[in-house]
Structure 1
Amino acid sequence: MQKRATIVSSSVATILVIVKLIVGIISGSVAVLASAIDSGLDLAVSLFNYFAVTNAEKPASEKFNYGLGKVEAIAAVIEGVIITMSGLFIGYKAIMKIIHPEPITHLDASIGVMLLSIVMTGALVAYLNHVAKVTQNMVIKSDALHYKTDLLSNGAILISLAVIYFTDFFMVDAILGILIAIYIIYSAYELIHEGILMLLDVALEDEIVEKIKEVIVSEPGITDYHWLKTRKAGSDYFVDVHLVFNPEMSLLEAHRIGDNVEEKIKVIDPKADWLINIHLDPYDDSEINVEETGQFAGSSSK
């Protein structure tokens, strides 16, 4: 499903690049031309996303023991940087238009192509949001957000062309170009931020961590826990925790309880691929381990 989504977005971007570029050059509209360039970057990003999704889906191997889920984070960072660069270029073109104003021609064609762009992009955003919701794939989420910014900017461009059509106020084209550039750069920040956090092994959302703790403390037979650590790579959620049991409890029973905890944690988000590592302790050795290793002790029940 993820691969099909990237193919669909690449196809839509290709059509829009060709149509917008032709009309943008003929009309002289910096907003339409900027939109064409943005669609060209959309195409490059969608092609890259196809590569990212294909590799992220590969299973763990002898060389990559934890899989390639972080390819999604790398793709998000790269996509965010590309979006930022496109925003800077659009801003530059808009400023140049203010310094050297030029009239816009072929307004009918420009308005028509922006209407076509809004319809196609709107349908694509709805489709990508559906795929992202089903798969929880970060690359598809990034792509959906990217095209959502396109949808909003296309709507703004259409309004500016309508203003020019009825009032001949050509400067609105350049002014709107600057506003679009600022919005595009702002929208890219979220992609870059989320991708970098994943690359730095940020913990799972607080809500999910709290649910994990609830599962542990509510499980009969567990007297304590420590060294609870979480992270994610794409749709893979990693959980490490030490569970403390009564020393007299058999290893078989402790292992059974640990399995119950694993299964209950997986129910928290059935769409995620959980990789849970549970260590069974007959007593709380968290302070000893911290003193010996100097490592972060993770969340604890204390």
Structure 2
Amino acid sequence: MAETVVAHHDSTRMMRQATYAAVAVAMVLVVIKLGAYWVTGSVAMLSTLIDSVLDVAASFINLLAVRAALTPADREHRFGHGKAEPLAGLGQAAFITGSALFLAVESIRLLWAPQPVTNGALGIGVMGVSILLTLALVYYQRIVIRKTGSLAISADSLHYTGDVLVNLGVIVALGLSTFWGWSLADPLFALAIAAYILRNAWQIIFHSLNQLMDRELPEEERAQITQLALSHPEVLDFHDLRTRAAGQDLFIQFHLGVEGQLSLQRAHQIGKEVEAKVLNIFPQAEIIIHHDPMDKNEEDSGGRINF
């Protein structure tokens, strides 16, 4: 969940700006890394160039997905378009996996036939600039994630954070190859980077599939919903809690047990009061409450809590 609640309009604006920033930074990195690879011939530099090329494609997909996810619900999509975000995450994972496998094959080839790196100092300078630009982007993305809880921006930020480590690895590889003459450092570091990229891809796949398969919210958040509902003095029972997420949107439904002799109007008011408590903590949630009439004597057992 987002740590800081922001208005829906501000959330939408921040998410869109984050996607534009990611595409812009990735395009700049492709240009400068292409020039660096041209003059160095380093496979480690090639690895980070490939990663940035795929970043452009992945971030552009992310941009389209976020725009779709922020589209309001309509007649054909009554629950909104939030699942465009995890779909974008799977698309990003496919791009990232493809780049990692290509890089691994190229690295293994160069382990058998190492090639010297030229103009390594220039390559190191380019990597330094890349790290600064990527860190600035990741910092901004983290701000957006804290305020919006966006899965798509989280996935984007995850692989850009990996890019920082990738670029640091390239600097080490270039330094060892250029100043110490260890030609195997270049493909070895590239191979390690490929493994790291694959790990990032799996994390994105895992989180995206959780949303697409309507996985329940984490247990601590479900327990928080339960506690909020049972804190109302007129709620006798709480059960059948069901939750799922779709992008920024949360869907929560549960049954409340209330005294059977209450008027329909009062039972409805209790539900609205419980709903307000939950919305205070989960402002993006759509909540459905079913009321069950109960004998007040059942309260003596402490009520029934069934997840």
Same-fold call, TM cutoff 0.5? yes
> For residues 176-233 of structure 1, what are the alpha-carbon distances to aligned partners after superposition, in whole Å with 9 as ceiling and x for unaligned?
0110000110111111001001000001111110011111212111211222111111
* Aligned counterpart for 1:116 among listed residues 124, 129, 134: 129
SS state of the match for residue 222, structure 1? coil
Runs ≥4 in structure 1, deviation > 3 angstroms? 299-302
1:1-302 equivalences in 2 (<5 Å): 1-270=14-283, 273-283=284-294, 300-301=305-306
Cα distance in 2 between the residues matched to 1:104 and 1:22:
14
1:82-105 CA deviation, whole Å, 9 max, x = no partner?
111111111111111112221111
Larger deviation, residues 92-101 vs 256-265: 92-101
CA shift, 1:161, in A, is 1.0
Cα distance in 1 between the residues matched to 2:306 and 2:183: 64
Query: Helix, strand or coil for the counterpart of 1:189?
Result: helix
Q: Hey, what's the Cα distance between the residues in 1 that align with 2:220 and 2:281?
A: 10
Kindly indicate whether the alpha-carbon contact (under 8 Å) linking 1:38 and 1:86 is maintained by their aligned counterparts in 2.
yes
The CA distance in 1 between the partners of 2:177 and 2:113, in whole Å, is 17
Aligned partner of residue 282 in structure 1, secondary structure: strand
- Decide whether the 8 Å contact of 2:61 with 2:91 is kept in 1: no
The equivalent of 1:290 in structure 2 is: none
Q: CA deviation at 1:269?
A: 3.3
In 1, the alpha carbon distance for the partners of 2:39 and 2:16 equals 35
Report the 3-state secondary structure (helix = DSSP H, G, I; strand = E; otherwise coil) of the residue aligned with 2:290.
strand
TM-score, normalization by structure 1? 0.92
Shift of 1:26: 2.6
Q: Residue deviations 1:119-171, cap 9 Å, x none? A: 11111111111111111111111111110000011011111111222211111
SS at match of 2:236: strand
Structure 1 position 78, deviation (Å): 1.3
User: Is the contact made by 1:70 and 1:233 (CA closer than 8 Å) also made in structure 2?
Assistant: yes
Identity across matched positions, percent: 37
| TM-score relative to the length of structure 2 | 0.90
In structure 1, what is the Cα distance between the partners aligned to 2:252 and 2:131? Answer: 42
Question: What are the Cα deviations for residues 57-93 of structure 1, in whole angstroms up to 9, with x where unaligned?
Answer: 0111000000000110111111112111111111111
Q: Which deviates the most, 136-145 or 217-226?
A: 217-226
CA contact (8 A) 1:25 1:33 kept: no
Q: Flag structure 1 segments of 5+ consecutive residues without an equivalent.
A: 285-298
Residue-by-residue CA offset, 1:232-252 (whole Å, 9 max, x unaligned): 111111111111111111111
Contact 1:164 1:170 in 2 (8 A): yes
